[in-house]
Structure 1
Amino acid sequence: MTIAAGAPPTHTTPGGLALGFLTGGVIGVSLTAFISGCAVGKAPLIVTGLVLPAAYGLLRHLCTLPRRAREKAVVPRTALAMIESLEALGGDASDVPVRFELTVAPDDGPAYRVEFRQGINLVELPDYRPRGIVVVEYQPERPWKVRIVKRPTPAWEERAAGAYLDSAPGPAMTDDAPQGCAGGVLTLLGLLLGAAAVLLLFRADLFGPDAGGAAPEPSVTSSSSTTTVTSATGTVALGPGRSMLDQGELRKAVESLTQDGEQRQALTVVVQERLLTVVFSPTGVRTAGFDPLALPFDRVAALVEEAGATLGAGSPRSWQLTADGVTGPLTLRVMVTGDRGTGVLEADGQGNVLRRNGS
């Protein structure tokens, strides 16, 4: 029996192209929203980036339930096929996955090529050889869904024994056949439009003057100090002849950075002779931190003096106090550098000395 070959059917449809465009849009929106939300500290954007893919996957699953139910109810059709090539891909001791390329010849349509994988027992593998005729089952609406019938009925086994098939022209269809250039372009277009939509809708948050804390507010300058405050940091630089160790100077400097009434939490406070730097917690994000006004201001001068006098630092040349409350309770670390080395002192949030170290 000879069956003429025909052009292979295709399974790229307008619905598949539209689905690719929609998938690209969801990817673009979710990735851009998540990354942008992390960059500017916006919780709604972060949540959108995490929830949207999950919601899209669930919706797609629900929408395809009727189609998958219909396909399950369709009785597969049986046909003869010729093995064009096969390749064992390795596996365990009993079954191995084999890549088959077949020419399938339906009784009521043109022949076509298809490529798929199927597990074959090692003992039965020699029964499959190029140009050999096998019996297959396929889905009428999705002809690339092909499986070799290992135990066909006697009637089909008799047909296969006396059949001769011509090779169908390629290319072979596969279960994961690409959508082609048009599908790839539409998916990329959807991704770019989704990303652009997020950037456009939230441009004020992403590119506004406070985005990422990069753009500083106007500095307040007096004859003896300069104060600069942004959404992420605040600094106070004293003029010549003044020191953060002067009575009330450090407290006044911290208050100048927190006078907006928002009671902002600080992650780190660094104090030097004439410079104060405060790193604030991101706005709208619940993180660890401490109230910078809770620092033991009255103990700072004594801690610096003790670090320089008792740790062998000699005549102090520079000092720095770092207050850190990110990983636990507020901790103060004082480092004094002098003629004979460096002294380090650690204290708790009330200014009580915990440990000393000198070199």
Structure 2
Amino acid sequence: MTTAAGGPPSPNTPSKLALGLLTGAVIGASLAGFVSGCVLGRTSLVVLSLALPAAYGLVAFLASLPRWGREAAAVPVRALALIEEREAVRGESSDVPVQFELSVVPDGAPGFRVGIRQEINLVELPDYRPRGIVVVEYPPDRPWKARIVKRPTPEWERRVAGARLDSVPGPAMREESGPGCAGCLLTVLGLLLGVGAVLLPFHTELFAVVEDGTGTARPAVTSSSESSSSESSSSESSSATITVTSATGTVALGPGQSMLDQGELRKAVESLTPGGEPRQALAVVVQDRQLTVVLNPADGVPGAGAPGAGKGPGFDPRSLPYERIPGLVEEARSTLGVKAPKSWQLTADGTTGALTLRIVVTGESGSATLEADGRGQVLRRNGG
């Protein structure tokens, strides 16, 4: 039988490099998708990030089945081998790993040197001295996977007793233990590409969540008119940006300011009603540095001579219990069981009846809600 005496396959073949790149991309995309889905609260993204590596592993398993079948069907080759070197590595059990370098001389084929590592019992270790002859077994297409046969058949024992072998010149073949430098670099590159492919579509939402949680400056909020009849007034200063249309009014504070500062929320609401003209609101949404008022279109546009509040559903946003709101927010942040609260949002709604204040606090352990009436008296709490 003729065997190939060439060395083990290189770890940097194009197929293996491509596989390393793809594996890194799958790992990066899965990790980034899982974290992004948890931060943004998107269950579908979390499920997809968990399904991706499972699907990739299944495909890789199915693709490997033919190769495993061929390897299992191959009849191993047995040959005599001369022990050139032996080095035992200290172990904690009776079987210790031993590094062998062998000169293998198969029947009817060129000899070759191979380096292997195999566990040998301490009691049997004296039987494997340098220059001793042993029987080895290896796959015909992978001679570097040779193993010493510890209990050969009587026929092979007779061959060992009468054999005289010479050393085979040349370096010893050794199985490649790692993917190589190029393979590692491509795997890292794939990891970065996978992370970038997931973060790029969601970077705006992720940065917004991070900014809300850390208090860093957010971009100034702008708005355009929704129709030709809408009035849009925008005044920018170092402290706030005010935008008013026919449907909404928005005030965005600058860095270092908060709607919970004394008198800040009242001033922001009054800045949306120039000249003191009342205007009905369908809802008021307050965050740390942003106020949004959903206006009642039936009341007309401020400054256009429209009648005052009172048409259709809604409430006067100037009637909010401003003095109670900072305390309600603090109570929601500290008493509802939300771990490490990062952001809060107050929504005032009076379209279906009495004015109701709803404060939602979000943190590491989830979110919780506190509800109060139009006077700021707490009605109910839903803990995190």
Shared fold by TM > 0.5? yes
Query: Deviations 1:15-63 (Å, cap 9, x if unpaired)?
Result: 3333222212212222232333344444444333333223222221222
- In structure 2, the partner of 1:289 is 368
Gaps in structure 2 of 5+ consecutive residues: 222-239, 244-249, 267-280, 295-327, 332-342, 346-359
Query: Deviations 1:276-328 (Å, cap 9, x if unpaired)?
Result: x8364559x9934114447993379xxxxxxxxxxxxxxxxxxxxxx99655x
Number of aligned positions between the proteins: 272
TM-score (norm 1): 0.59
Task: Please give the secondary structure, in 1, of the residue aligned with 2:9.
Answer: coil
Task: Please give the secondary structure, in 2, of the residue aligned with 1:289.
Answer: strand
Contact 1:40–1:211 (CA<8 Å) still a contact in 2?
A: no
1:128 paired to 2:128: yes
Find the aligned partners of 2:29 and 2:150 in 1 and give their Cα distance.
47
Query: Cα RMSD over matched residues?
Result: 4.4
Structure 1 pair 154–39 and aligned structure 2 pair: CA distance change class (3 A): same
Find the aligned partners of 1:40 and 1:127 in 2 and give their Cα distance.
65
Contact 2:370–2:378 (CA<8 Å) still a contact in 1?
A: no
- In structure 2, the partner of 1:270 is 330
Find the aligned partners of 1:294 and 1:54 in 2 and give their Cα distance.
50
Contact 2:8–2:173 (CA<8 Å) still a contact in 1?
A: no
Corresponding residue to 1:298 among 377, 380, 384: 377
- Once the 2 structures are TM-superposed, how far is the Cα of residue 6 of structure 1 from its aligned partner? 6.3
Contact 2:8–2:142 (CA<8 Å) still a contact in 1?
A: no
Comparing 39-48 with 129-138, which one deviates more in the overlay? Answer: 39-48
- In structure 2, the partner of 1:184 is 184
Comparing 182-191 with 84-93, which one deviates more in the overlay? Answer: 84-93
- In structure 1, the partner of 2:23 is 23
Structure 1 pair 93–198 and aligned structure 2 pair: CA distance change class (3 A): closer
Find the aligned partners of 1:193 and 1:326 in 2 and give their Cα distance.
40
Contact 2:89–2:99 (CA<8 Å) still a contact in 1?
A: yes
Contact 1:6–1:169 (CA<8 Å) still a contact in 2?
A: no
Find the aligned partners of 2:88 and 2:166 in 1 and give their Cα distance.
23
Contact 2:344–2:361 (CA<8 Å) still a contact in 1?
A: no
- Once the 2 structures are TM-superposed, how far is the Cα of residue 146 of structure 1 from its aligned partner? 1.9
TM-score (norm 2): 0.56
Find the aligned partners of 1:235 and 1:113 in 2 and give their Cα distance.
78
Following superposition of structure 1 onto structure 2, how do residues 1-359 of structure 1 map, counting pairs within 5 Å?
8-12=7-11, 13-91=13-91, 94-161=94-161, 162-170=163-171, 172-174=173-175, 177-206=177-206, 213=212, 215=218, 218=221, 235-239=259-263, 256-257=285-286, 269-270=329-330, 278=344, 280-281=360-361, 287-293=366-372, 297-298=376-377, 326-327=383-384
Find the aligned partners of 2:160 and 2:87 in 1 and give their Cα distance.
22
Find the aligned partners of 1:55 and 1:238 in 2 and give their Cα distance.
55
Task: Please give the secondary structure, in 1, of the residue aligned with 2:196.
Answer: helix
Contact 1:8–1:111 (CA<8 Å) still a contact in 2?
A: no
Contact 2:371–2:381 (CA<8 Å) still a contact in 1?
A: no
Structure 1 pair 145–11 and aligned structure 2 pair: CA distance change class (3 A): farther
Task: Please give the secondary structure, in 1, of the residue aligned with 2:261.
Answer: strand
Find the aligned partners of 1:45 and 1:178 in 2 and give their Cα distance.
33
- Once the 2 structures are TM-superposed, how far is the Cα of residue 165 of structure 1 from its aligned partner? 3.2
Contact 1:87–1:98 (CA<8 Å) still a contact in 2?
A: yes
Contact 2:370–2:382 (CA<8 Å) still a contact in 1?
A: no
For 1:290, the aligned partner's letter is: T
- In structure 2, the partner of 1:342 is none
Find the aligned partners of 1:172 and 1:29 in 2 and give their Cα distance.
37
Contact 2:115–2:174 (CA<8 Å) still a contact in 1?
A: yes
For 2:132, the aligned partner's letter is: G
Aligned-residue identity in percent: 46
- Once the 2 structures are TM-superposed, how far is the Cα of residue 80 of structure 1 from its aligned partner? 2.2
Contact 1:289–1:326 (CA<8 Å) still a contact in 2?
A: yes
Comparing 106-115 with 191-200, which one deviates more in the overlay? Answer: 106-115
Structure 1 pair 10–67 and aligned structure 2 pair: CA distance change class (3 A): closer
Contact 1:39–1:212 (CA<8 Å) still a contact in 2?
A: no
For 2:286, the aligned partner's letter is: L
Contact 1:136–1:148 (CA<8 Å) still a contact in 2?
A: yes
Gaps in structure 1 of 5+ consecutive residues: 243-251, 262-267, 272-276, 301-322, 328-359
For 1:21, the aligned partner's letter is: L
Structure 1 pair 270–112 and aligned structure 2 pair: CA distance change class (3 A): farther
